[in-house]
Amino acid sequence: MRDAPSPGYRETSALSLTPASKRELRGWSGLAVAALALAGVLALLLALSRTPKIQDFLPWPVQEFFYRALVTHVVFSFVVWFLGVLGALMVLTTARLAMGQTRARRLGTVGLGAGALGCLILLAPALLNWGEPSLNNYVPVVIHPVFYAGLVLLALGVGMVAVRLILNLPGREVGPVDWGIAAAAAAYLVALVCFGLALIAIPSGTGEALFNERLFWGGGHVLQFVNTALMLVGWSVLAEITLGEMPLGPWLSAAVAGSLVLFVLPAPVFYALFDVLSREHRDAFTQMLWYGLAPQPVVMMAGLARLLYQRRTALPWRDPAFVGLVLSVGLFAVGGLFGFFLGVADTRTPSHYHAVIGGVNLAAMALYFALLLPLLGRSSRRAGPIRWQFHLYGFGQLLFSVGMFLAGEAGVPRKTAGAEQGLDTIGKVVSMAMTGTGGIIAVMGGVMFVWMALSRLMARR
């Protein structure tokens, strides 16, 4: 363990990138953005399939296409996107630790190949009208062997990169950011174990809805620890790049990272303690998330607040990475507050996770422009559009989430659209209008991100 390294995290990372690790880094970074681009195209098709007249021209039976495309959209914009970013950061950390002496090097190439192939396969059921859609929590699915095969390939591909990172830890000089990514990798592997245990534990003959819900319930909860680890690492790196200092000291950073792993360790045990179909099983994971995922962001936010206060006269507001950092922290904090008012199944539930996920997304997006693209030699000096992108996405998500929270008070059902919502009071109309406007603004920010990141990644130099 070393104290704050004098050349920044970005600089020391650049030194350790071999051509092979650079290829893998570009692969996962590209896969993550491509997933968002695909999710965007699917969202457009979803909108068109709900538009009278235009829907007649689509080559699919509209009603069935809608839910399959919705499932695929959610999987690409959440699961694949986050796992792609995780893959990129794990490749980077492995390269930093190994300094050209990577153990189990081949796992990286095979993992990236499996992940990319898995993503391609995931698209098939929506495009070819295969299988029944299921909108269960965390990882919605199209119930078809090809879709599950795609998920397995993607999961194992990322898993190989995670295993390789952990194999490269012993005997290496591990910094605070490296501990954070290693914690994400370890938690990810615990999530994979949970998916496997769920598959074994769920009795045959369980209805499809409950089967998929319970298959992804435990591991899905554990994946939220992975996302949080990524976000906290993102905040640290962004603070170091824009303010020259990390929010927490190296020891406290490592303790925070370690605690993320600590709280997911009991997850596999829950499968032995509680019947997988029971309410106790369901609630055990909810509680694990509720108690185990609060301390780390709070400590990190306190560290950031101290740092921002110290630098209050000279904050780099024109630096897009700094804007991304502040918006990410703000959005996540709002989502955390909403979490305390959670209802069981009303619109306040998504208001919480949209804000929290928005915070994670912003940290990841800012990492692209501040860390990943520069490491790949694809940085840009045009800060204006990037700053704009963060503002649109951040404030759009905020408006969206607050609107949803207010709508939750009025009890508008979630995951449905249009006439089914029964808008009968002014309050509902206003809150749904906020949600709609915020959603459109956030989507504009998202589209800008995909465009800017993808065009830089694909540019010929």
Partner 1 sequence: MASFLDRLAAVVFASAALALFAAMPIWHRVAESPEAESRQTISARDFSTLVEAMTKAHATGEAEGGVPIVHPPAGDVYVIARRFEFTPILQLDVGRTYRLHIASTDVVHGFNFPLGKAETLLVPGWATTVTVTPTHPGLYAMQCSEYCGLSHSRMKARVRVMP
Binding site for partner 1 (CB under 8 A): 3, 67, 133-137, 207, 209-210, 212-213, 248-252, 254-256, 258-259, 262-263, 266, 277-279, 282-284, 287-288, 290-292, 295, 299, 344-345, 411, 413-416, 420
Long-range contacts of 278-286 (CB under 8 A, 24+ apart): 281/214, 281/217, 281/218, 282/217, 285/217, 285/218, 285/221, 286/221
Chain centroid to Cα 287, Å, comes to 21
Q: Tell me phi and psi for residue 132, to 5 degrees.
A: -95, 135
Q: How far is the CB of 415 from partner 1 (least distance, A)?
A: 4
Q: How far is the CB of 228 from partner 1 (least distance, A)?
A: 14
Q: Which is nearer to partner 1, 247 or 359 (CB)?
A: 247
Torsion from C-alpha of 363, 364, 365, 366, nearest 10 degrees: 50
* Closest to 448 (Cα-Cα) out of 85, 87, 30, 36: 36
- Name residue, tokens 């998202």: 446
Q: How far is the CB of 376 from partner 1 (least distance, A)?
A: 33
Q: How far is the CB of 321 from partner 1 (least distance, A)?
A: 24
Q: Which is nearer to partner 1, 168 or 212 (CB)?
A: 212
Cα 448 from Cα 385, distance rounded (Å): 8
Rounded to a whole number of angstroms, the CA Rg of the chain reads 21
Strand partners, 142: 133
Is residue 412 within 8 Å of 2, Cβ to Cβ?
no
Q: How far is the CB of 302 from partner 1 (least distance, A)?
A: 10
**Mapping DSSP to helix (H, G, I), strand (E, B) and coil, where does residue 133 land?**
strand
* Closest to 76 (Cα-Cα) out of 84, 64, 67: 84
Alpha-carbon distance values, 231 to 20, 125, 214 (Å): 26, 32, 26
Q: How far is the CB of 406 from partner 1 (least distance, A)?
A: 17
Q: Which is nearer to partner 1, 195 or 369 (CB)?
A: 195
Q: How far is the CB of 103 from partner 1 (least distance, A)?
A: 28
**Who contacts 22 (Cβ-Cβ below 8 Å, separation ≥6)?**
375, 376
Q: How far is the CB of 413 from partner 1 (least distance, A)?
A: 5
Cα 246 from Cα 253, distance rounded (Å): 9
Q: How far is the CB of 170 from partner 1 (least distance, A)?
A: 21
Other residues' Cβ atoms within 10 Å of the Cβ of residue 459: 9
Cα 175 from Cα 96, distance rounded (Å): 10
